[in-house]
Structure 1
């Protein structure tokens, strides 16, 4: 069993309703962490979810704080939310470089995974902005300098490069299609477990004394349709396998 911190996978939306000459706004809060959290817990892992709006104030900033967890998962949360704590962004007070601390923690024996989304890797209009942070050094893939989203509205099935790899358990080779991913480039020496459209989907790397992994598509809709993240037993195998691999359980 691993204690896993998942940062991100939540969002707030605002919609404006116009009825004749009158209008009003409606706000809602949504969490997309459910499929991933449920899958990991079903495999015996302890999951702590840190919603996106909590990340700027609460994300661990020291190796000691990171040591409270066996693995850190970043999912659809941009670099700015981690780096720009309120004291830094609003009050101009120097603070912690939390991504540098996370990178060092990983190299010192920690376990890091990044899951794709509009605010993962480079992301929508490159706003996720991880490419120019310390995290870029420890991931198994290189990030693009531009918007890296590759939308696949007709769906595309992954190519499993290593069907017997322990990181995907018994997921096999027949996976439901995905609707998009973040395009990246496999680093020399990294291990490619699955690809999509010729690009990395699941990649793994040893980094110093630690390990890192990426799943470049989503863990929930819209890129991961319900057939992938809710109806397919392989989903649980993949994500639990990634956590087991980065935490050196397998």
Structure 2
């Protein structure tokens, strides 16, 4: 089977420490996708990761390149990281990779977006996927403003479509979350929300799916790793099955 492409989930942090006149700097690199990659690998998938800092130069620019993958997963990587290309930097016309993804899914591809500070519209509104071609292809509508929701008190997922193949073999209750992206449902476009989180009397979509043209799309509105996924969720025996089932559904294995 073709590998799954995970785009995003990497970040670098630079820190400065001041002790009087003496100032020192340090930097570290983190990969938030390791637990997810481990889960997919345990269930027989090969995963290729292109970190956000590499998307400009390495993310596919043709449908033929996209079709080398069974599915594409965008996770914590903003629209600009995909829209910028080496040609753009030189002031030349180039491919719009968001339009490319939409057309690829219409023709049979499989696309997933997972949540995070730089997913959907983003914690500060900087992810910028609202009103793009990727927004058109997803099973949810992305709001125009900042959509990140921090919930230190915890959000409890509620399964609303227990018979869907993605949720087979999932033990309930699903452990609590510490945050998610707020989006709107789009049932008029053939989308189905499988899991909600209740907050202040409102059911927020957490997991939604859609048949889009000949392809499929899926949206998971929380992290695939910490910190929005609680320690309890990360250690839950259903984590591997749930994450693998999302991809299995996308590639029509279930």
| Structure 1 runs of 4+ with >3 Å offset | none
Provide Cα deviations, 1:78-112, integer angstroms capped at 9, x if missing partner: 00000011321x32111111111111001100000
Q: Does 1:193 align with 2:194?
A: yes
SS of equivalent to 1:174: coil
* Contact 1:168–1:239 (8 Å) recurs in 2: no
In the other structure, the counterpart of 1:79 is 79
Provide Cα deviations, 1:29-79, integer angstroms capped at 9, x if missing partner: 110111110011110011111111111110001100001001000000000
**Aligned-residue offset at 1:163:** 2.1
**Aligned-residue offset at 1:216:** 0.2
Q: Does 1:150 align with 2:149?
A: yes
In the other structure, the counterpart of 2:222 is 217
* Contact 1:163–1:172 (8 Å) recurs in 2: no
TM-score norm. by structure 1 comes to 0.96
Q: Does 1:247 align with 2:251?
A: yes
Alignment of 1:1-250 (within 5 A): 1=1, 3-88=3-88, 90-188=89-187, 189-197=190-198, 198-229=203-234, 231-250=235-254
* Contact 1:163–1:173 (8 Å) recurs in 2: no
* Contact 2:193–2:205 (8 Å) recurs in 1: yes
The number of aligned residues is 248
Provide Cα deviations, 1:212-246, integer angstroms capped at 9, x if missing partner: 001101011110122212x1111111111110111
SS of equivalent to 2:68: coil
* Contact 1:109–1:209 (8 Å) recurs in 2: yes
- Aligned counterparts of 1:58 and 1:73: Cα–Cα separation in 2: 15
SS of equivalent to 1:53: helix
* Contact 2:131–2:142 (8 Å) recurs in 1: no
Q: Pairwise CA RMSD of aligned residues?
A: 1.1
Compare 70-79 and 16-25 and name the one that shifted more. Answer: 16-25
* Contact 1:56–1:83 (8 Å) recurs in 2: yes
* Contact 2:123–2:149 (8 Å) recurs in 1: no
- Aligned counterparts of 2:125 and 2:102: Cα–Cα separation in 1: 20
* Contact 1:119–1:127 (8 Å) recurs in 2: yes
TM-score norm. by structure 2 comes to 0.95
* Contact 1:160–1:193 (8 Å) recurs in 2: yes
SS of equivalent to 1:38: helix
Q: Which runs of 5+ in 1 are unaligned?
A: none
- Aligned counterparts of 1:113 and 1:125: Cα–Cα separation in 2: 21
